[in-house]
Amino acid sequence: MTLEEAELAYRRLAGIRDRLARKLLTEIESHDGLRHLTDHRLAGHTLRLWRELQADIVLLGTQYQALERHVGTVEALRARGDRSGVARLARLSDLLHSPTVRLRADGTPAGDTTDPVAETITLDALCERVEALGDGIRARLQDVDVAAKAVLTRLGALADALSALAAQPPAHDDLVERYRHLRALALDDPIGWAADERELSGLEADVADARAVLDSTREVARAAGERIDTLRAAIEAVDAAEAHAETTRARASRKVTGGDPEPAAGQGPALRAAVADLERHRTARRWPEVTAGLAAVERAAAAALAAAADRAAAAQALLDRRDQLRGRLDGYRAKAGRLGIDERTELAAAYRTAREQLWKAPCDLDAAAGAVWRYQDLVATRPRHDGGAKR
C-alpha cells in the first residue's frame, strides 16, 4: 500500500465514523421513541423491548468507542513524522485492512490480552456492525414511536369526547376513571396495546354511546322549549274550543231537550299544571321525565281539543235537527196550501201541534219529530180540494 492509498483509506474510514456519529446523535439519541421509553414507567411487551434495546444501545456505544479508538490510532500514526516511513506505512496498512479489532463473544470489544476473544475483525467490518446495530435499534425505536403516537391520538380523541361529556350532566365518572387507568396502561405498554386494543376499543365504544345519548339529550333540551311553547298555544286553543262548546251546549239546553244538562269540566287548569311540572323537570335537566311528560301532555291536549269539538258538534246537531224539522214542517204546509187542503180541520190541528212542539223552549225533539211526521203523512194521504190547488 502506498501512502496515497493509505490516506484515501483513512479518509474513507473517517467519513464513515463521522456519518455514524451523526446517525447516533440525530437518529437514535434524539428519537421520539427513545424519549417515550425513558419518560414512562414501562410494562409488558414494551418493557421487554426496552430491556433488549438497552443492551443493544450499550453494545452500540462500546463498539462505536472501539471504532473511535482505532481510528484515533490511525490518525496518531498518520500524524507522526518519524523517519521510519516504511514501518509507519506497514503499520497503517495493518490497522486499515487487517483484522485488528478483538471482540468478546457478546460482541463487546476485548480489553487487554488476557480477555477471552471470540473473533477479530477489520475496521470495515466493525463499521458495518455498528451501522447494522444502529439501524436495528432505530427500527425498534420507530416501532415504539408509531405505537405510542397511535395510542396518543386515540387517547386524545377520547379526552376531547370526555371533555364534551363533562360539559353537561349527568357525570360520567366511571368513564373518566377508566380513561385514566387505560391511559396509564397504554402509555406504559404501547407495543402491547397495539397488539391487543380490545379494552381501549371498548372504552371508545362506551364513550361514543354516552356522546350519542348526550347529543340526543341536547336535541331534547333544544326542542323542549319549542314543544312547551306549542303546548301553551294548544292549551289556549283548548280553552277557546271548550268555551265555544259550552256556549253551544248552553244555547242548545235552553232550546231543545236531550243534550248535556251540565257543563263539562274544563281541561285547561290540569294541562297548565302538567306544563308547570314539565318546566320544573326541564330546569332540573331531568330529560327522560321531560320527554315522557311532553308526549303525555301533548296527547292530553289533543284529546281535550277533540272532546271539546265533539261536545260542540253534538250540541249544534240538536239545534240543527230542530231547524231541519221546522224547515220540513214549513215545506209540507206550503205543499198543503198548493193542494188546497191546508185549512182542513185535521191538517190545521196537526200543523198547530207540530208548530207548538217545534217553537216551544225547550223543544222535545222526539215529540216534535213525531208531530212533523204525522202532519207530513196527513198531507201525503189527503186528496186535493175539489177546486184544485190554491193560488
Torsion (CA) 11, 17, 23, 28 in degrees, nearest 10:
180
Q: What is the pLDDT of residues 152-177, one digit of tens each?
A: 898 888 888 888 777 666 667 888 88
Cell of 216: 340526543
Bridge-based pairing of strands 119-121 and 101-103 is antiparallel
Q: What is the pLDDT of residues 320-336, one digit of tens each?
A: 999 999 999 999 999 99
Q: Specify burial of residue 83 (Cβ count, 10 A radius: 0-12, 13-18, 19+).
A: exposed
Q: Cα–Cα distance between 300 and 298 in angstroms, integer?
A: 5
Model confidence at 24, pLDDT cuts 50, 70, 90, reads confident
Statement: residue 74 has pLDDT above 90? no
Statement: residue 143 has pLDDT above 60? yes
* Contact between 241 and 305 (Cβ < 8 Å): yes
Helices 198-255, 123-166: axis angle to 10 degrees equals 20
CA distances from 57 to 70, 100, 152, 168 (A): 20, 23, 26, 50
Q: What is the pLDDT of residues 104-127, one digit of tens each?
A: 998 999 877 678 889 999 898 988
Statement: residue 348 has pLDDT above 90? yes
Statement: residue 391 has pLDDT above 50? no
Task: Determine which of 3-12, 42-51, 305-314, 328-337 has the lowest per-residue pLDDT on average.
Answer: 3-12
Statement: residue 244 has pLDDT above 90? yes
Q: Cα–Cα distance between 228 and 279 in angstroms, integer?
A: 8
CB neighbour burial string for 18-44, b if at least 16 within 10 angstroms, e if fewer: eebeebbeebbeebebbebbeebebeb
Q: Cα–Cα distance between 124 and 257 in angstroms, integer?
A: 123
Q: Cα–Cα distance between 232 and 242 in angstroms, integer?
A: 15
The mean per-residue pLDDT over the stretch 78-93 comes to: 70
